[in-house]
């Protein structure tokens, strides 16, 4: 009972230390227009609203249409939070990514979040090194999970990072080393590569490709292409694959190389999370904020957040665009 009281008090104090300010603005953030074609979607004078701040490292934004709410993760604090339609902040789930009893360091919480075809919450669990599903409804969240996959050919996954489903219910996810306590040098690392995978709706796991640091991924609107970020400071790029009829990938090509913006220009952040607008425009977090591309890889705009920006999300009607950026959760309105 004593432990429960202390844990409850700590969570309460943490929530007090974090703030939800739906009307405050991030004054150093701005929209940089590089191609006038994007003016149909972006207004360069749009302010960046601070929805919440004061976290360790925000990630995994997920819009819940049924609840008109945004979920996001705070990875080091092993927690998922919710911001409701009135802007109120609350703890949604803890623990989110590490359920073990032994204390450990590193980024242990959940990273990418999505809903499966049945509307259930699916989590990339860094600490538990698995893809998992929350075993409770969204309106009654509990830290009880079902393992979807936790190994490849008998070797434990590194730390699943981001996830997306195709229209047939196949699950694609990336597996870099960021959730391991000592990253690439962690003695618990069992795989000697970082993979891009597909878990078929039949339960069969397939390795689709190996990248140095596979991270965010998203389909084109017609699901014929898959865009994948590589968050390697020495190879800070986005790739694009063709998706075959059986769900496998082919013809990987370089979509955009931003390495010089990291190594020479010193911009904060790396290619990380991304989402694709129904128009086909790609919004991809990267050096300096969020990069906005057309489907040919031309840069149309940059959303300069002033922070290392990890991930992004649209509301269902695509009128709102959310960003997780260091200790912030930000929002801009779209046309």
Residue 13 lies in a domain: no
Residue 50 lies in a domain: no
pLDDT in tens, 159-209: 999 999 999 999 999 999 999 999 999 999 999 999 999 999 999 999 999
The model scores a pTM over 0.85: yes
Q: Residue 48 pairs with which residues in a beta bridge?
A: none
Residue 167 lies in a domain: yes
The answer to whether 59 is annotated as binding is yes
pLDDT in tens, 22-42: 469 999 999 999 999 999 999
Token pair, residue 299, equals 């840069």
40 is catalytic: no
Report the C-alpha gap between 108 and 74 in whole angstroms: 10
Residue 178 lies in a domain: yes
Instruction: Please state, in angstroms and as integers, the Cα–Cα distance from residue 100 to each residue in 126, 250, 290, following that order.
Output: 12, 38, 34
The answer to whether 161 is annotated as binding is yes
Catalytic residue among 40, 272, 294, 317: 272
Residue 246 lies in a domain: no
CATH number of the domain encompassing residue 187: 2.120.10.30
Residue 8 lies in a domain: no
- What residues make up the domain containing 183? 59-211
Residue 248 lies in a domain: no
Per-residue pLDDT of the chain (335 residues; tens, 9 = 90+): 444 434 444 555 555 456 655 469 999 999 999 999 999 999 999 999 999 999 999 999 999 999 999 999 999 999 999 999 999 999 999 999 999 999 988 899 999 999 999 999 999 999 999 999 999 999 999 999 999 999 999 999 999 999 999 999 999 999 999 999 999 999 999 999 999 999 999 999 999 999 999 999 999 999 999 999 999 999 999 999 999 999 999 999 999 999 999 998 889 999 999 999 999 999 999 999 999 999 999 999 999 999 999 999 999 999 999 999 999 999 999 99
Q: How many domains does the chain have?
A: 1
Phi-psi group of 182: left, alpha or beta (phi > 0 → left; psi -120 to 50 → alpha; rest → beta): alpha
58 close to 42: Cβ distance less than 8 angstroms: no
Task: Say how far residue 277 (Cα) sits from the centre of its chain.
Answer: 16
Residue 235 lies in a domain: no
């Amino acid at each position: 009972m004593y432990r429960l009281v202390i844990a409850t008090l700590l969570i309460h104090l943490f929530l007090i230390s974090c703030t939800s300010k739906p009307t405050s603005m991030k004054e150093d953030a701005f929209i940089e227009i590089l191609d006038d074609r994007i003016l149909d979607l972006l207004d360069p004078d749009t302010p960046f609203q601070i929805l919440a701040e004061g976290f360790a490292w925000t990630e995994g934004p997920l819009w819940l249409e049924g609840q008109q709410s945004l979920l996001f993760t705070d990875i080091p604090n092993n927690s998922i939070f919710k911001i409701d339609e009135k802007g109120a902040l609350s703890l949604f789930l803890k623990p989110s990514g590490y359920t073990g009893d032994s204390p450990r360091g590193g980024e242990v919480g959940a990273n990418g979040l999505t809903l499966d075809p049945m509307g259930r919450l699916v989590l990339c669990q860094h600490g538990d090194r698995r893809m998992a599903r929350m075993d409770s409804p969204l309106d009654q969240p509990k830290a009880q999970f079902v393992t979807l996959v936790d190994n490849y050919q008998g070797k434990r996954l590194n730390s699943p990072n981001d996830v997306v489903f195709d229209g047939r219910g196949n699950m694609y996810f990336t597996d870099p080393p960021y959730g391991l306590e000592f990253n690439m040098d962690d003695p618990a690392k069992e795989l000697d590569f970082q993979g891009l995978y597909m878990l078929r709706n039949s339960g069969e796991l397939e390795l689709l490709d190996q990248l140095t640091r596979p991270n965010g991924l998203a389909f084109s609107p017609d699901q014929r292409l898959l865009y994948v970020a590589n968050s390697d400071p020495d190879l800070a790029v986005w790739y694009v694959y063709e998706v075959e009829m059986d769900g496998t990938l082919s013809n990987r090509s370089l979509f955009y190389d931003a390495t010089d913006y990291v190594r020479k220009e010193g911009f904060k952040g790396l290619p990380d999370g991304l989402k694709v607008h129904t128009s086909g425009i790609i919004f991809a977090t990267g050096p300096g904020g969020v990069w906005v591309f057309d489907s040919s890889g031309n840069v149309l705009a940059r959303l300069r957040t002033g922070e290392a920006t990890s991930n992004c999300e649209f509301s269902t009607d695509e009128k709102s665009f959310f960003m997780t950026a260091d200790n912030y959760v930000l929002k801009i309105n779209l046309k």
